[in-house]
Structure 1
Amino acid sequence: HAWNTALFVTASILGSALVPKLLSQVGPRNAYLVAAIIFAAGTLACGLAPSMQAMLAGRVVQGLGGGMMLALSYAMIRIVFDESLWPRAIALVSGMWGVATLVGPAIGGIFAELGVWRAAFWSLVPVIGIFAIMATLILPKRAGDDEAKDKLAWPQLILLTAAVLIVSAASISASTFWNVAGVAIAFAVLLLLVIVEQKATKRILPKGTFSIKRLGALYMTMGFLGASVTSSEVFVPLFFQVLHNQSPLVAGYLAALMGGSWTLGSIGSSGVSGARVNRVILAAPVMGIAGMVTLAILVPPGSEGHWYDLLPICLAMAIIGFGVGMTWPHLLTRVFKRAEAADQNLASASLTTVQLFTTAMGAALAGMVANLAGLSNPGGVAGTANAALWLFIGFTALSGIALLSAIALVRSSR
């Protein structure tokens, strides 16, 4: 089951990195059709898989198409909408994450309860078909700025894929040694990727990515804020079950509070403009720090699971998600604005690449911290409580780093 997710995420990151080349070669309309066909093929392969090996192969293909589709959604915002509407459009894309977080488990649970898990994959095929028809009818054939053909940066793509596979494998292992070793090797590969990217003429990231004053602070803020939410969501259901006496279903939906509040924050703040945007960007990591400190205090001791025990925990989670959500459209919009005109396709794809990569790295680091803190050994209530304490301390540190990068970002915009 773990490899199902790991391979899907790895292929999604690769797919998002391939989008600039795809866009420049075939244009927006056909790019969406190609991505939809790949996603549909992977989905059908999963639904018809006779073995786990076939299922994993299908998940790779599905992830490749899914990564392309997600990256293309950001590219279409830049191509189809006026600049003044970018934050609102990005907020809608973020809103779909929240809807999927809330609705997805319920739909999947119904198929699982009925014992027809394959139908969960088959049911996506007609949706993909409708999506492909809409793309054909609505999207432009050419973007107007894709004459300069983007070229594939194979060395960086190979290094990026290797780093994600290594860190994913490390996060799956129950061995602390392999957790630490995998993360260390992945960071070494990532460092090599940075060196190669800086010297290369063919790139996977826009110029200025490693400059704090241009895009560096933006990507750091995005990465640390996003990872603090997505990585914590992995463990929160377990903490609710073991420490606060909740059923798996209830624990899952309580954990979805972060995703839901992220959606509300994105939509609610999308109309903010001018000098207020900087205040929103600075507020998000402050809210994250406050929320994570609250969780570090309230989650580890455990409770009987009464509503009054859970309410402050849920409020803290909602504050964290809302804070990240309200700054997200403005961070992504600034990537478009700060990237050079020739790098707009790379900038669009980088939003998904950075988000998925930092999520994978954050989950691996969180798994390493949890294992070191005793989640597996000694395990049980005591091990889970200690793991919760150190994880939320770690997530507080991530939010703190995000605050520093947000300050640098705001200063560079003045």
Structure 2
Amino acid sequence: MLEKNQNVPAAGDAGWHSLFRGDNAIHSLVLCGGVALHALNVYIVTTTMPSIVRDIGGLDYYAWSTTLFVAGSILGAALSGRLLGRMGAGVAYAAGALVFGVGTLLCASAPDMPTLLAGRAVQGFGGGLLYALAYGVIRMVFPAALWSRAIGLISATWGAATLVGPAVGGVFAEFGIWRAAFWSLLPFTVLLAALALSTLPRTRSEPREPLPLKQLVLLLGIVLTLSVASARPTAGEQAAGVGAALVLFAGLIAIERRSIAKLLPRDALRPSSLLAALYATIALAMIGMQPEIFVPYFLQELHGRSPLAAGYIAALMALGWTAGSMTSAHWQGSRARKTIVAGPFFGLAGLLTIAVLMPLTTADFAAIALPLSLGIAAVGFGIGIAWPHIVTAVYAGAPAGEEEKASASITTVQLFAASLGAALAGMVANLAGIDEGTPEGTAAAANWLFWLFALAPALGIICARGAGRSAALAKEHTDRP
């Protein structure tokens, strides 16, 4: 049984202020705290990675820092529903925070890139738990009338992290003490664990089906195969890695279809279903966003920006996500459904703008700074404006009895797509010549990356239209007497 929040407003009184009254305020603080910890780490690392590779080496494995972090997050997200049931929200949240802290210690003390990558994987597992648990706990502690606003609040937390994270990472990087950026996260990790234990519900429930171990192994196998392939020196080896990943993906689909222990809710793999269209839209949006991991590097190496400035410009993508979510979170009905279709158009326009401007090394940066920044922000805005309504549509479209699985699967799909996109971004960048360390190779990598990844939102437009039509039909069916 899910523990219901008794201190909630009626459906007609579900304004933003309702999230900050009584028990809702405490729950909002804890949920946003977990997301903030995860998000701050993302932007601190994005900003400090150029300094890290200059200090301990490992440029060929630049994208692995993100790939392994997200791979760990996938595992954490996939296990979050089971952890929530067995331990209750408070203990599960505290466990996620402590695991994240262990990974942060590894990163802070890393003498070389392999140790740093191990720490990032552990960090990812803890962060994935915290991020996925937020979506699961929203359903437990808030009424349905507040779900989209609570999701918007989580997006606002990401936006705040875009302001603080690059500043923390950039300042430490410019003073040559990037390790201190990791140490600075540890006090907040301990505080979050204590707050979660004392404030979140502890209601437990036994899982109704076995753990989908085969699917989890294949998911991680796909991500790691692509990560290994992205760092190989020849196009043939990289193509072989992509082929192996496709074989693993086909196996994943086959096992998921016939297995009793499922990773996704029923009908999620049926092409005509609402859930399939929503998950595809999420996946393509996240893949299209992944060239972001190279934006600070391109801005520093091609345009001479400082680590702090480059970090803030790159963070405009996440800030755009926040702006989009806060803009649309209170929309309802057909207006809300239209955001699912509109989102990929913003993403496509943004990536095409970056593709044109980022490689222009001969241009005066002052002349291209504004349109380039708008393009970066547009990618995030497109995802953000649709996000609250994609998530609530997944909640509403979940089969009876699989609501927790549907909540956890949002993050599983999101993070798997992000990890896949990060690995592919690393592969494209290396093939284009970024590992040569020359301005020409770096400019070529910027050129190829953004033009190719613009295909993701282009395909996302098709999937989003299918999701919008399915959501409208489902609403019509629900409204019939």
TM-score (norm: length of structure 1): 0.90
1:38 and 1:301, CA in 2 relative to 1: closer, same or farther beyond 3 A? closer
Match of 2:203 among 138, 142, 145: 142
Q: State how far apart, in whole Å, the 2-side matches of 1:7 and 1:202 are.
A: 25
Unaligned runs of 5+ in 1: none
Maintained 8 Å contact 2:353/2:375: yes
Q: Name 2:452's counterpart in structure 1.
A: 394
Q: State how far apart, in whole Å, the 2-side matches of 1:74 and 1:165 are.
A: 26
Specify the SS of the correspondent of 1:16: helix
Q: Name 2:241's counterpart in structure 1.
A: 182
1:120 and 1:222, CA in 2 relative to 1: closer, same or farther beyond 3 A? same
Q: Name 1:74's counterpart in structure 2.
A: 135
* Alignment of 1:321 onto 2:380: yes
Superposed displacement of residue 150, structure 1? 4.5
Q: State how far apart, in whole Å, the 2-side matches of 1:190 and 1:101 are.
A: 33
Maintained 8 Å contact 1:265/1:325: yes
Specify the SS of the correspondent of 1:342: coil
Q: State how far apart, in whole Å, the 2-side matches of 1:11 and 1:190 are.
A: 18
Match of 2:416 among 341, 357, 361: 357
Q: 1:34-69: CA deviations, max 9, x gaps?
A: 222322333344445677665554443332222111
Maintained 8 Å contact 1:173/1:179: yes
Superposed displacement of residue 362, structure 1? 1.2
Match of 1:126 among 187, 190, 212: 187
Q: Name 1:337's counterpart in structure 2.
A: 396
**1:8-407 → structure 2 map (5 Å cutoff):** 8-47=69-108, 55-113=116-174, 116-142=177-203, 146-212=205-271, 213-229=273-289, 231-376=290-435, 380-407=438-465
Measured on the aligned residues, the alpha-carbon RMSD in Å equals 2.5
**Counterpart amino acid of residue 309 in structure 2:** V
**Counterpart amino acid of residue 353 in structure 1:** T
Maintained 8 Å contact 2:350/2:378: yes
**Counterpart amino acid of residue 151 in structure 2:** I
Maintained 8 Å contact 2:67/2:422: no
Which segment drifts farther, 19-28 or 164-173? 164-173
1:243 and 1:7, CA in 2 relative to 1: closer, same or farther beyond 3 A? closer
1:21 and 1:294, CA in 2 relative to 1: closer, same or farther beyond 3 A? same
Q: State how far apart, in whole Å, the 2-side matches of 1:36 and 1:119 are.
A: 19
Specify the SS of the correspondent of 1:256: helix
Superposed displacement of residue 228, structure 1? 0.9
**Counterpart amino acid of residue 126 in structure 2:** G
**Counterpart amino acid of residue 28 in structure 1:** A
Which segment drifts farther, 262-271 or 99-108? 99-108
Q: State how far apart, in whole Å, the 2-side matches of 1:410 and 1:120 are.
A: 42
Maintained 8 Å contact 1:366/1:391: yes
Maintained 8 Å contact 2:107/2:179: yes
Aligned residues: 410
Maintained 8 Å contact 2:170/2:311: no
Superposed displacement of residue 197, structure 1? 0.8
**Counterpart amino acid of residue 462 in structure 2:** L
TM-score (norm: length of structure 2): 0.78
Q: State how far apart, in whole Å, the 1-side matches of 2:119 and 2:291 are.
A: 28
Maintained 8 Å contact 1:23/1:345: no
Superposed displacement of residue 236, structure 1? 2.4
Q: Name 2:41's counterpart in structure 1.
A: none
1:162 and 1:317, CA in 2 relative to 1: closer, same or farther beyond 3 A? same
Maintained 8 Å contact 2:68/2:419: no
Superposed displacement of residue 295, structure 1? 2.7
Q: 1:360-396: CA deviations, max 9, x gaps?
A: 111222233334444446x744444443333222222
1:240 and 1:321, CA in 2 relative to 1: closer, same or farther beyond 3 A? same
Superposed displacement of residue 266, structure 1? 1.0
Specify the SS of the correspondent of 1:78: helix
1:37 and 1:316, CA in 2 relative to 1: closer, same or farther beyond 3 A? closer
Maintained 8 Å contact 2:73/2:124: yes
Which segment drifts farther, 279-288 or 113-122? 113-122
1:389 and 1:160, CA in 2 relative to 1: closer, same or farther beyond 3 A? same
Which segment drifts farther, 237-246 or 401-410? 237-246
Superposed displacement of residue 407, structure 1? 0.7
Q: State how far apart, in whole Å, the 1-side matches of 2:148 and 2:427 are.
A: 35
Q: State how far apart, in whole Å, the 2-side matches of 1:284 and 1:4 are.
A: 28
**Counterpart amino acid of residue 227 in structure 1:** I
